[in-house]
Chains A and B, each alone.
Chain A
Amino acid sequence: MMIEFTADELHHVEALKAKYPDSKAAIMPVLWMAQKKWGWLSEDVMQYVGSVMNLPYAHVKGVATFYTMYFKKPMGKHHVQVCTNVSCMLRGGTEIFQAVKERLGCENNSATADGTFSLEEVECMGACGGAPMIAINETFHENVTMEKVNALLDSLR
């Protein structure tokens, strides 16, 4: 697979750089773009991001590894994030995490064998008023029960 942004995307990269007093600051939005496009940040993707950002690979990798939301390995098509921090834990988040783990049959921070799902036990997502909560990719689901979670997972493939 060729790792390259399209001309339009490169245009967008330049626009992002121009938003900040120093173009280095665009690294986070550009890593987001790269992750959207290629699903995760492989060594090759990080090398490429370094080249469009004029930054050393080591710097790109340093930034990418600082943050949990940049994936350093392939994740599932549906990334299931279950919050088990205090507010969610008080309302059953830990049990939901265990049940989802059993259902998907994969370990924390990894994907199922077929790549459809991946699972992550996450820290507080800032949705404690709707605890317990899970997120699937970018969408929050609050006030969930195990039935609701199962129905949600049933609807995805």
Chain B
Amino acid sequence: MYTSPHLVLPRIDNLADIDVYMANGGYQQYRKALGMTPDEVIDVVKKSGLRGRGGACFPTGLKWSFMPKGNDKPKYLAINGDESEPGSFKDRQIFESNPHQLIEGILIAGYAMGIEKAFIYIRGEYHAWVDMMQRAVDQAYAKGVVGSAMTQTFGGSYTIDIVVHKGAGAYICGEETSLMNSLEGDRAYPRYKPPFPANKGLWGMPTTINNVETIATVPPILAIGADAYAAIGAPGHTGTILFGVSGHVNKPGVYELETGTLLTDIIYNHCGGVPGNKRIKAIIPGGSSMPPLRGDEIDGVRMDEESLKPLGTHIGTAGIMVMDEDTDLVKVTLRIAHFYHHESCGQCTPCREGCGWMEKILHRIDHGDATVQDLDLLLSVAGNIEGNTICALGDAAAWPVQGFVRKFRDEFEARCKPSRSFLSLNVVHGRRATASTLVQST
């Protein structure tokens, strides 16, 4: 079933149907895993070089090895399908086209960590895709590949249950500790770390949280072997990735490609270039929280974490947003700032207040009421959010603002007045008598 780069989304029709999936070798990789010890399975994932696809690129095998051994406490797996980072729409494709591979990945991950229950958390807006995933889970139960019937179907003594959980509209629920509070039925405020989820996660028990795509990548790794997988794509960030390309390209969509693919190759070959053959002004490489690249610096850029890091940005969710030469980047930055302000949970002052101030200042710039000093104020607010908050939403809000202002400062400055002139004091005084604004910009 698996030939690179079609590992997560093999090109087989109706793969979402369990019979088709099984006819193509589905659920055989779990059998293979059962023939190994749990630690051997974790070693395979470690050797494959798989890194999380949820945004932070954390090595998956290493994360699994943090889980305590033994069965004295229940352990949980949470599959992160919140997918709310603007520009990201790839996990949806897995729910739609290959849900059983996600389920099989859950079986393998669960076996490797000794987990008894997995929760698939899917954002509420994905109504139809929640239903698709639920249908796949129901099919899997009916076939006896999930739940107590697993011992009969596959042998061995390991079983796992899977629950599909629907969110209700909150970006923050994608943050792993917020997701746990949401699942437990509380307001979804992120938790302080430590304790880390592997020690104290869902209901205080050891928990691993992985992205949908991460777990759906596990069956092909077992199928082709760790070494073969590690040989695919870029050495420091192996395998294939689902790139979600949107914005100003002729053929937007989800493309599964090897890591390290040239950005220009993705845009001009796979996505058919920019409409009207316009030039590219800016690109966000991995969802709206990642700092942008200028259009004139994308030549030769390879799309993997180790290649992007030196350029001051990250692969994130691999949601590539392309903006042509006519794009108003002040408006784009304002829209992004509005998003993070809207989605801040409000727990930490720097994020709650800072996101609001960034939006306000950007509004002022957009309206032509700002001065160049406001740009420095903007950067200073962003700098005071970064690193000073409970969860990484603060950084996610600060980075794009800092990135756009630094990389396109001339465009922002052109929208600002050179300086602010204040009315002279006695005029202010005179105005006070008429009870109008004390200080006005001219």
Q: Are A and B bound to each other?
A: yes
Question: Could you tell me which residues of chain B, from 242 to 293, have a CB within 8 Å of some CB in chain A?
Answer: 244-248, 252-254, 284, 288
Instruction: Tell me if B's interface is mostly helix, strand, loop or mixed.
Output: mixed
Judge whether B184 is part of the interface by a CB distance below 8 angstroms. yes
Judge whether B188 is part of the interface by a CB distance below 8 angstroms. yes
Contact yes or no, A129 B244, CB < 8 A: yes
Contact yes or no, A129 B339, CB < 8 A: no
Among A63, A67, A130, point to the contact of B169 (Cβ < 8 A): A67
Q: A67-B170, A90-B247, A123-B86 are in contact. List 18 more A-B contacts (CB 8 A).
A: A21-B117, A22-B203, A24-B185, A25-B183, A28-B166, A28-B182, A66-B170, A67-B188, A68-B170, A69-B125, A69-B168, A86-B335, A90-B246, A123-B342, A124-B85, A124-B339, A128-B321, A139-B127
Judge whether A112 is part of the interface by a CB distance below 8 angstroms. no
State the total of A-B contacts with C-beta under 8 angstroms: 140
Task: Give Cα distance in the complex from A103 to B117, angstroms.
Answer: 48
List chain A positions with a Cβ less than 8 A from chain B: 19-22, 24-29, 31-32, 55, 62-63, 66-70, 84-87, 89-91, 122-131, 135, 138-140
Contact yes or no, B203 A123, CB < 8 A: no
Contact yes or no, A126 B89, CB < 8 A: yes
Contact yes or no, A25 B246, CB < 8 A: no
Contact yes or no, B254 A21, CB < 8 A: no
Among B163, B165, B185, B327, point to the contact of A90 (Cβ < 8 A): B327
Contact yes or no, A86 B87, CB < 8 A: yes
Contact yes or no, B188 A19, CB < 8 A: no
List chain A residues, Cβ under 8 A from B167: 28, 67, 69
Task: Give Cα distance in the complex from A123 to B338, angstroms.
Answer: 10
List chain B residues, Cβ under 8 A from A70: 168-169
Residue of B with least CB distance to A62:
B187
Contact yes or no, B74 A128, CB < 8 A: no
Contact A29-B165, Cβ < 8 Å, known A85-B339, A128-B244 = yes
Question: Could you tell me which residues of chain B, from 331 to 347, have a CB within 8 Å of some CB in chain A?
Answer: 331-332, 335-336, 339, 342-343
CB distance from B131 to the nearest CB of A (A): 9
A-B contact pairs, 27 of them (CB 8 A): A19-B163, A21-B74, A22-B203, A24-B185, A24-B186, A26-B185, A28-B166, A29-B165, A32-B168, A62-B186, A63-B187, A67-B167, A67-B170, A69-B124, A69-B168, A86-B335, A87-B86, A87-B247, A87-B252, A90-B247, A90-B248, A90-B327, A123-B339, A126-B126, A127-B92, A128-B87, A128-B252
